[in-house]
């Protein structure tokens, strides 16, 4: 895993202290659980948002967002250090030869880019959007909707996706689709996911809204790792989030994913997330009911549920937060599924199993410190796409 978590943590701490301290001033650090507020009344409630949301100059310093990645995606820089590319057109007429000014043209360039949007737009994708590495898609300052097709991050590293509303995604037939600034390649039909992360490393998805796809809202599979999904809002879907392709893909044993500060509500049925093999921190999320279950898995994943709020549905037969699948009970109850600081409401039941895992130093450096579950409503009150205007805090 390397030491990227430690490096970013200490760098960020130094920058915060340096900005706060001036000659002759006494620096008073806020308590860890405090809400950050600025003079314009902005409030940021969780550790990621406190890093950037209350800064009125965010539009002049967009790439500072990369310093705020937390969890297992800590150290992900996306397009930081690269040029700013502005999407000026919502068109998606030719997936094999996209025109400059479109989102597809920007995401397929073989260089770091920080991608922003000139204006509000609805982008109806005619094919899946294949994103190259070292990219940030930054929807702040515009209302950006993506529909029709989803985003695919396949065998790439270092991607940040922020501030997109992705919805009503369907299966698309495939064909010649550009995935770099070289020639287009032949791709098979898409699965119909809002976002597919396949064989990718260092991916941060933050403040997005997802709803209504053919397959899943978000899949992380096939050896992907060092992923954080944070501050997102998931609605109107059955199978929400899949972490691990299937029980035969043993390369997912090294998967490490953080699911933090998200809101699951309004028709989410199951897989919030469904995990296989890997190591998962599910921290300070708001589960406003479910249909079948909230969190599930198979193939002996380690799941640390910390500081979540689980509000069970009224149906007396659906009070269980968890579902263990594809193994006898004698085996599945040995899996390390732990609960700490969680709040169980409306009769919700969390049946823990296994023991507290021993974390490596690298894992410890990437864990988000859980707040008590009683704080979740406040911590997730801005989940989903934000409304941001230049010159004002978001």
Q: Are 82 and 63 in contact (CB under 8 A)?
A: no
- Rounded alpha-carbon distances, angstroms, from residue 234 to 35, 171, 178, 371, 382: 24, 20, 29, 21, 13
Positive/negative CA dihedral, 75, 35, 165, 84? negative
Q: What pLDDT, in 10s, does the model give residues 318-374? A: 999 999 999 999 999 999 999 999 999 999 999 999 999 999 999 999 999 999 999
SS3 for 368? coil
Looking at residues 281-292, what average pLDDT do you find?
Answer: 98
Sequence-ordered list of residues with C-beta below 8 angstroms from that of 100, at least 6 positions apart, any chain: none
Closest CA to 307 of 360, 264, 261: 261
pLDDT confidence bin for 42, thresholds 50/70/90: confident
Pairing of strands 135-138, 322-324: unpaired
Please report the pLDDT score of residue 22 as a whole number.
42
Average the pLDDT over each of 114-118, 139-143, 246-250, 336-340 and give the range with the smallest value.
246-250
Q: In the predicted model, is pLDDT for residue 1 greater than 70?
A: no
With tokens 């500072």, the residue in question is: 64
With tokens 């994943």, the residue in question is: 301
The two structure tokens encoding residue 44: 């940021």
Q: For residues 334 and 123, give the distance between their C-alpha atoms in angstroms, rounded to a whole number.
A: 46
The CATH superfamily of 37-379 is Single-stranded right-handed beta-helix, Pectin lyase-like (2.160.20.10)
Q: In the predicted model, is pLDDT for residue 12 greater than 50?
A: no
Q: What are phi and psi of 377, to 5 degrees?
A: -55, -45
pLDDT confidence bin for 8, thresholds 50/70/90: very low
Q: Are 275 and 310 in contact (CB under 8 A)?
A: no
pLDDT confidence bin for 43, thresholds 50/70/90: confident
Q: In the predicted model, is pLDDT for residue 24 greater than 90?
A: no
pLDDT confidence bin for 16, thresholds 50/70/90: very low
Q: What pLDDT, in 10s, does the model give residues 44-60? A: 999 999 999 999 999 99
Please report the pLDDT score of residue 95 as a whole number.
98
Pairing of strands 43-44, 36-37: antiparallel
Please report the pLDDT score of residue 39 as a whole number.
45
Query: Which letter does DSSP use for residue 370 in this model?
Result: P
- Mean pLDDT over each residue of the chain, to the nearest integer: 92
Q: What are phi and psi of 250, to 5 degrees?
A: -75, -10
Looking at residues 205-227, what average pLDDT do you find?
Answer: 98
Positive/negative CA dihedral, 62, 63, 66, 67? negative
> How many C-beta atoms lie closer than 10 Å to residue 34's C-beta?
10
Q: For residues 61 and 55, give the distance between their C-alpha atoms in angstroms, rounded to a whole number.
A: 10
Q: Residue 363 belongs to what H/E stretch? A: helix 361-366
Give the predicted TM-score (pTM) of the model: 0.92
Active-site pick, 271, 274, 276, 324: 271
Average the pLDDT over each of 77-86, 246-255, 305-314 and give the range with the smallest value.
246-255
Q: For residues 150 and 213, give the distance between their C-alpha atoms in angstroms, rounded to a whole number.
A: 9
- Rounded alpha-carbon distances, angstroms, from residue 282 to 87, 118, 208, 268, 355: 34, 35, 17, 17, 16
To the query of whether residue 276 is one of the catalytic residues in this protein, the response is no
> Regarding predicted confidence, which is higher, 274 or 41?
274
Sequence-ordered list of residues with C-beta below 8 angstroms from that of 153, at least 6 positions apart, any chain: 131, 159, 195, 196, 197, 198, 200, 203
């Amino acid at each position: 895993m390397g030491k990227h978590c430690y490096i970013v943590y200490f760098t960020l701490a130094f920058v915060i202290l340096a900005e706060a301290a001036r000659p002759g001033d006494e620096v008073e650090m806020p308590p860890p659980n405090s809400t950050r507020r600025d003079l314009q009344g902005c409030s940021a409630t969780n550790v990621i948002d406190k890093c950037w949301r209350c800064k009125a100059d965010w539009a002049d310093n967009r790439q500072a967002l990369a310093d705020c990645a937390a969890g297992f995606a800590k150290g992900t820089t996306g397009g930081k250090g690269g040029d700013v590319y502005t999407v000026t057109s919502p068109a998606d007429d030719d997936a094999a030869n996209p025109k400059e000014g479109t989102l597809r043209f920007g995401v397929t360039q073989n260089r770091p880019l920080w991608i922003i949007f000139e204006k509000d737009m609805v982008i109806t994708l005619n094919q899946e959007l294949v994103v190259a590495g070292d990219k940030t898609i930054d929807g702040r300052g515009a209302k950006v909707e993506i529909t029709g097709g989803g985003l695919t991050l396949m065998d790439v590293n270092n991607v940040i996706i922020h501030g997109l509303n992705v919805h009503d995604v369907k299966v698309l037939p495939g064909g010649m689709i550009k995935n770099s600034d070289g020639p287009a390649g032949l791709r098979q039909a898409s699965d119909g996911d809002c976002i597919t992360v396949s064989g990718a490393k260092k991916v941060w998805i933050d403040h997005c809204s997802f709803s209504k796809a053919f397959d899943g809202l978000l899949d992380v599979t096939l050896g992907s790792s060092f992923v954080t999904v944070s501050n997102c809002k998931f609605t109107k879907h059955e199978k929400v989030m899949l972490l691990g392709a299937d029980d035969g893909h043993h390369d997912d044993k090294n998967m490490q994913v953080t699911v933090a500060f998200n809101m699951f509500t309004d028709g989410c049925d199951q897989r919030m997330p469904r995990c296989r093999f890997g190591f998962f921190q599910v921290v300070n999320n708001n589960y406003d009911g479910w249909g079948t279950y909230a969190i599930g898995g198979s193939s002996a994943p380690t799941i640390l549920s910390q500081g979540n709020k689980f509000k069970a549905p009224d149906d007396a037969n659906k009070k269980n937060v968890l579902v263990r699948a594809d193994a006898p009970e004698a085996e599945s109850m040995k899996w390390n599924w732990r609960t700490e600081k969680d709040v169980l409401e409306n009769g919700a039941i969390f049946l823990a199993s296994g023991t507290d895992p021993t974390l490596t130093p690298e894992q410890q450096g990437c864990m988000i410190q859980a707040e008590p579950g009683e704080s979740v409503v406040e911590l997730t009150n801005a989940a989903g796409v934000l409304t941001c205007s230049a010159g004002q805090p978001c």
